[in-house]
Structure 1
Amino acid sequence: MPWIFLFPVWIAVVGVALFLGFNRLLCRTLNGSTIVFHSDPEYAPTLAEHEHEQWIFINGVAVGEAWLKSNINRLALTFKRPIIGVHNQPSGIIFDVIECLIQRQLGLATRDVREAYKIVKEKLYNPKYSKIIFILHSQGGIEGGLVLDWLLQELPQDLLSKLEVYTFGNASNHFNNPHRSVAEQTQEKRENSTAAADAFTRTATEPITEASLTDSPVETQAPLPALLQQQQQSTAAPQVNELKSQAQAKVEQQRSKPDATATAGGDHDHLDHPTRIAVPAAHRAISHVEHYLHTYDFVALWGALHFVANKPGSPTLPRFIGRVFSRAAPTGGHQFSQHYLNGMFPLARDESTGKFVGCADSNEFMDTVVEIGEVGVNGGMREGLQSSFAALRRDAEALEAAGVTVHGSFCKPHEEDIRDGNVRVKDLSRLWLYRNGRSPPEIDGDGVVRGLTL
């Protein structure tokens, strides 16, 4: 504000005071009186099949109360689950950017960060919930990263395993998701060792079989990993054995159906029922972390994309862990609903009424063939396409070469979902499998059946 020096000091002080007062009054009007919001039941009523889940969202900069409600209602309509919104209240775009920089560099915990931490921690400790979905946008990625740092320091692994994190236009400079043990970390670092690769392949490739997408959040439609079969012989895991029996019974019941992947109308649409489902990164504290970014989004450019696309100059620099989907589209901006959700999870209309009824089962982004990232995606710092792609292949050589972070997958033998033999975004995106109330099969890398209460 160079013009301020052209006036006497008292005029400059009065001008600044008037600006701050008007800005505060405007922001208070936009923010409302509360910080926690819930999506409207008309977009996603509470259903019994989703009672074990809790979805939580933190917004980005310059989002008032009305826009936050619009965001969580949009999420509710897309995924057919009730959403809790923690309001990152704006203070004006200039002050929001300043706050972003302070939070990002110094770890400032504002009121909404503390509130989000309280909510997520309470939900993780609540035995009613077996799955907590944490969705973050823009500055919300910074705040959510701070929440995760606290949770990783305090919570036991069996609670952290409930958590899944999905970010859009992430402005953070780090995203932690450590290994659960030194042995697992060392094994990944020795990915170029033949002996380590051989041992790794024996677990990563067993089994690879068919597992169709299920509309039920508690139904497991895939044979259980060998590790869970070994647990059956242990007297210390009677509850897990019971879960195995229940899950295997559901598998046999599913196999007895004429066509497990047919749609309600009898059509065999590979877009409606994808069968390539990646098992989570079993050696990480949080099994599922995905980042969705636009290369034309300036916030993503100085945020997540900077740390994903550039080779780190030192192993001590902040790490950015998680599977990254970077979309190069000139129409891709930074707004959550307008650019990210409309571009990656667009809505479908009812032909008779013209109203939005949920997420469209096909779109350009999800049908896009993925490409291998160049710099910064290798070496165990994050889940690059090489490891993700290798996890979708049958041959052990690909698994050995990539040092797979996502351990194995359940593949359909004839690859009907990928007509031309290429891997598409929808084949790697776990969040896509939640659209319209659906749920992916829930077996984690250690053979623990998720979605069922112990």
Structure 2
Amino acid sequence: MAPIKYYPSQIGSKLVTPLPFTASPIKLLSEDLWSALRNLPYTPNIFLPLSPTTSGALCELYPSPKNLGSVVLHVVLFILQFSFLLSIPIWVLMPMWLVAIGCTMFWALNLSICLMLNGPRRVSTYESAPEYAQRKHEHAHEQWIFLNGVCVGRHWLKCAVNRLALTFGRPVLGIHNRTNGAVFDLLECLVQRSLNYASNDIRTAYRILKGKLYDADIHRIILVLHSQGAIEGSMIIDWLLAEIPQDLLQKLEVYTFGNAANHFNNPHLHLASQQNALAHPSLPATSLTRTITTLFTSSNRSVEVPTSRNGNGKSIPHIEHYAHTYDFVSRFGVLHYQHDYINDAFAPRFMGRLFEAEDSGHMFVQHYLDRMFPLSRSLRKRLAGAGMQNDGKGLVGGWDWERVDENSCFMRSVVQGMGRVKPDDRLGREGWEVSYVGESMDDDGGDDEEEEYREILQGRSGKIASAYANGAGKKREGLGGVTFKEEGITLTNGEGRSVTAFRHKKEFKVKNLSRLWLYRDGKSPMN
């Protein structure tokens, strides 16, 4: 597989003026139209390639009756809607009563087909089926939420949440972004991006996500977004940043695929942490800032808010984007804003780490999950139509299978160095050390480099382990960290070992930088 391009997350800089909030909506709309026209040759890549379908009937283009029915309805909608738009100029030559009758017939037929795809409007959420993943005790305080993209009806949404449940070993709640057909979905994307228009799907998803954030029994929320769902997700995040207490957002993690948004906000909680991140982009530590708030209780005694700290100082601790180079939607969205504005003073805020694979295809299950998070051979034998001889056992009766192929070509691909931070980058970007999540302990133990990494993790080598002996650092009470005099930065023990391990690495694979990979097979990364 070709090397993967990696772009560290923006830090945030006062030199940058993000266009989505400062430019004219007409200007934004015209730029979006121009970007769509420039990338028009890549539109077939939304559906191509048609094979393989390694997840069987869960793949959108696998020739099952329900999938074929969805494809046929989408083709009919495309022809119907495209013809309707082409007919608009000739309305001026027709009698008004004839235009009214034609529009009424069109909308009645269009809504009927959309109803067949989407199901009843009163149903806006779908939970993954229990045979794909059951809730375990160790995941009792987690909530996984998926918001789909364009052209996804009820059946494809169910396939997506079931595939996510299989991959990560947890139940997944799907919030349905209802399709209106390919043509009208694209127009809705333009309106949402340029005019900041909140459709009913966005308002529904916002209410659900806000309620989950306020739920005291939920400690971690993983939000997975695809395509147009990322546009809606970026707007929801804007609302959450403006309305709810910021410490609640520390529960949230966001992962996008084929992101179609034009911005992704994630500000620092404090100015001091932003300044430290800009001054020391290679260190995962931030300054410890403390806000003293006087809260009066019934006894008129003040209550002091405790100090809080996270690894990057951002409102949302983790955001990752996954994109294909030749995917029309990615080129129109996340890749456009990462490539074309790299040193532009008017660059949009697009927070989050980006993994770009030189590949095509936009389907969530068939193109993204099957290539980046492929299922194991043993699990594929249990799925109908997965291209392997079915063992007839099905999915019922066991939950300790190896779900994901540990030898995923994407995750084992070496990351290209071209995504490293450039000195003239106005956006300010994290160093790779901040993104480094370490080696998978499932890897072969014979590799000398990985053995050295394990020694570093155990504190037997590296700068952190020797800091106490040499007097270069001192323990910070209550923080479990080390302060380096030469840098003036506080690192927790885990962060320090991660930086030291990073400096010993000669090359990096995607799995060394992807946090989402650490959730596979029901596993959980540390916060």
**Deviation string, structure 1 residues 346-394 (Cα, Å, up to 9, x no partner):** 1113287546752222210000000134598774737566455688797
Q: Which residue of 2 aligns with 1:217?
A: none
- Shift in Å, 1:413: 8.0
- Shift in Å, 1:311: 2.9
Q: Which residue of 2 aligns with 1:164?
A: 253
Q: Which residue of 1 aligns with 2:230?
A: 141
Q: Which residue of 1 aligns with 2:369?
A: 341
Please say if 1:371 is aligned against 2:379: no
Q: Which residue of 1 aligns with 2:427?
A: 381
Aligned residues of 2:323 and 2:357 also touching (Cα < 8 A): yes
Residue 174 of structure 2 aligns to a residue whose secondary structure is strand
Aligned residues of 2:125 and 2:174 also touching (Cα < 8 A): yes
Structure 2 Cα separation of the partners of residues 81 and 323 of structure 1: 24
Aligned residues of 2:324 and 2:330 also touching (Cα < 8 A): yes
- Shift in Å, 1:20: 2.6
Structure 2 Cα separation of the partners of residues 29 and 390 of structure 1: 46
Residue 361 of structure 2 aligns to a residue whose secondary structure is coil
Please say if 1:426 is aligned against 2:511: yes
- Shift in Å, 1:14: 4.2
In the superposition, relative to structure 1, how do residues 441 and 391 fare at CA in structure 2: closer, same or farther (>3 Å)?
closer
In the superposition, relative to structure 1, how do residues 350 and 152 fare at CA in structure 2: closer, same or farther (>3 Å)?
same
Amino acid at match of 2:376: A
**Deviation string, structure 1 residues 144-190 (Cα, Å, up to 9, x no partner):** 0011001111122221101000000000000000011122223334x
Residue 108 of structure 1 aligns to a residue whose secondary structure is coil
Amino acid at match of 1:71: A
Residue 180 of structure 1 aligns to a residue whose secondary structure is coil
Amino acid at match of 1:82: P
Please say if 1:43 is aligned against 2:88: no
Aligned residues of 2:420 and 2:432 also touching (Cα < 8 A): no
Aligned residues of 1:141 and 1:171 also touching (Cα < 8 A): yes
- Shift in Å, 1:84: 0.7
Amino acid at match of 1:318: P
* Matched residue count: 359
Please say if 1:359 is aligned against 2:404: yes
Residue 350 of structure 1 aligns to a residue whose secondary structure is helix
Q: Which residue of 2 aligns with 1:215?
A: none
Residue 126 of structure 2 aligns to a residue whose secondary structure is strand
Larger Rg: 2
**Which of 261, 265, 269 is 1:180 aligned to?**
269
- Shift in Å, 1:338: 0.6
Aligned residues of 2:414 and 2:507 also touching (Cα < 8 A): yes
In the superposition, relative to structure 1, how do residues 286 and 153 fare at CA in structure 2: closer, same or farther (>3 Å)?
same
- Shift in Å, 1:288: 0.4
Aligned residues of 1:321 and 1:383 also touching (Cα < 8 A): no
Aligned residues of 2:433 and 2:499 also touching (Cα < 8 A): no
Q: Which residue of 1 aligns with 2:202?
A: 113
- Shift in Å, 1:28: 1.0
In the superposition, relative to structure 1, how do residues 362 and 390 fare at CA in structure 2: closer, same or farther (>3 Å)?
closer
In the superposition, relative to structure 1, how do residues 148 and 9 fare at CA in structure 2: closer, same or farther (>3 Å)?
same
**Which of 17, 23, 27 is 2:110 aligned to?**
23
Residue 190 of structure 2 aligns to a residue whose secondary structure is helix
Aligned residues of 1:177 and 1:285 also touching (Cα < 8 A): yes
Structure 2 Cα separation of the partners of residues 304 and 80 of structure 1: 28
**Which of 352, 357, 363 is 1:322 aligned to?**
352
Residue 94 of structure 1 aligns to a residue whose secondary structure is helix
Q: Which residue of 2 aligns with 1:262?
A: none
- Shift in Å, 1:30: 1.1
Q: What TM-score, normalized by structure 1, do the two folds share?
A: 0.70
**Deviation string, structure 1 residues 293-350 (Cα, Å, up to 9, x no partner):** 0001110001000111223565454210001101012xx3111001000010011132
- Shift in Å, 1:116: 1.0
Residue 415 of structure 2 aligns to a residue whose secondary structure is coil
Aligned residues of 2:344 and 2:426 also touching (Cα < 8 A): no
Q: What TM-score, normalized by structure 2, do the two folds share?
A: 0.61
Aligned residues of 1:133 and 1:163 also touching (Cα < 8 A): yes
Residue 99 of structure 1 aligns to a residue whose secondary structure is helix
In the superposition, relative to structure 1, how do residues 166 and 70 fare at CA in structure 2: closer, same or farther (>3 Å)?
same
Residue 19 of structure 1 aligns to a residue whose secondary structure is helix
Residue 359 of structure 1 aligns to a residue whose secondary structure is coil
Q: Which residue of 1 aligns with 2:378?
A: 350
Structure 2 Cα separation of the partners of residues 113 and 291 of structure 1: 20
Structure 1 Cα separation of the partners of residues 195 and 496 of structure 2: 39
Higher relative contact order (CA 8 A, sep 6+): 2
Aligned positions of 1:4-403 closer than 5 A: 9-10=94-95, 14-33=101-120, 34-189=123-278, 191=279, 197=280, 204=284, 281-312=311-342, 314-329=344-359, 332-350=360-378, 354=390, 358-373=403-418, 379=425, 381=427, 386=432, 388=434
Residue 26 of structure 1 aligns to a residue whose secondary structure is helix
- Shift in Å, 1:60: 0.2
Residue 262 of structure 2 aligns to a residue whose secondary structure is coil
Structure 2 Cα separation of the partners of residues 361 and 135 of structure 1: 21
Aligned residues of 2:285 and 2:312 also touching (Cα < 8 A): no
In the superposition, relative to structure 1, how do residues 387 and 176 fare at CA in structure 2: closer, same or farther (>3 Å)?
farther
Residue 56 of structure 1 aligns to a residue whose secondary structure is strand
- Shift in Å, 1:17: 3.6
Residue 185 of structure 1 aligns to a residue whose secondary structure is helix
In the superposition, relative to structure 1, how do residues 236 and 89 fare at CA in structure 2: closer, same or farther (>3 Å)?
same
